[in-house]
Amino acid sequence: MIASTSTETTGQTPTKTCNHCDVELNDSNWYEGFQKNRRYMCKPCTRAYQIPIERARNLIKKIKKGTLAKFDAIKEGNVYIITNSAWPDWVKIGKAILAEDRLKDYQTYSPFRNYKLEHSIFSNDRAEAEREAHVLAELIGEKKNEWFNITVKEAKDILNGL
């Protein structure tokens, strides 16, 4: 038997893209610390989102000191779109204080780590923004809990229109 030496089948690292702008990530446009922590955001998006991210991190610190009631009292955060290759025609529209942290939670549910954060927006009232997004998504496609049978583009258009 002859072993394959093609980089198409062995030794190839999958391409990583920014969760916010879909640009391909490389050493020059991706912070080393983000690479280690598997945070898929390019430097320009990091700068653009830094203020909401820092605000979200500070809110997370507050939650760790308090209870779930305090968590629910926090209105600010992200509304996000997550996909899973196991369900290619479906997207999840959800809310979190920080979408990247929520994605990490989803990854623990899957042995294949095949969830992908497609897009997120910052909202001063994440619960209300999520409710509005669900209503609009349900007008376009079938709904099962927080999952919708719509395209990623349709979901992004909904979030960007909020």
Q: Give the tens place of pLDDT for each residue, 86-119.
A: 999 999 999 999 999 999 989 988 888 999 999 9
CB 72 within 8 A of CB 50: no
Question: Which residues sit opposite 96 in a β-bridge?
Answer: 78
Question: Which residues sit opposite 82 in a β-bridge?
Answer: 92, 117
- How far apart (Å, rounded) are the C-alpha atoms in residues 150 and 22? 19
Per-10-residue mean pLDDT of the chain, 162 residues long, equals: 42 73 85 78 73 69 65 86 95 94 90 94 95 96 95 96 91
Element (H, E) at 96: strand 91-96
CB 99 within 8 A of CB 117: yes
Checking 128-134 for CB contacts under 8 A at 24+ apart, the result is 129/79, 129/95, 129/162, 130/79, 130/93, 130/94, 130/95, 132/162, 133/79, 133/93, 133/158, 133/159, 133/162, 134/93
Residue whose tokens read 């912070």: 31
Q: Where are the domains of the chain?
A: 33-160
pLDDT of residue 2: 41
pLDDT of residue 33: 76
pLDDT of residue 48: 65
Find, among 86, 114, 117, the residue nearest to 102 by Cα. Answer: 117
pTM of the predicted protein model: 0.60
SS3 108: helix
Torsion region of 13: left, alpha or beta (phi above 0 gives left; psi -120 to 50 gives alpha)? beta
Find, among 120, 68, 58, 60, the residue nearest to 95 by Cα. Answer: 120
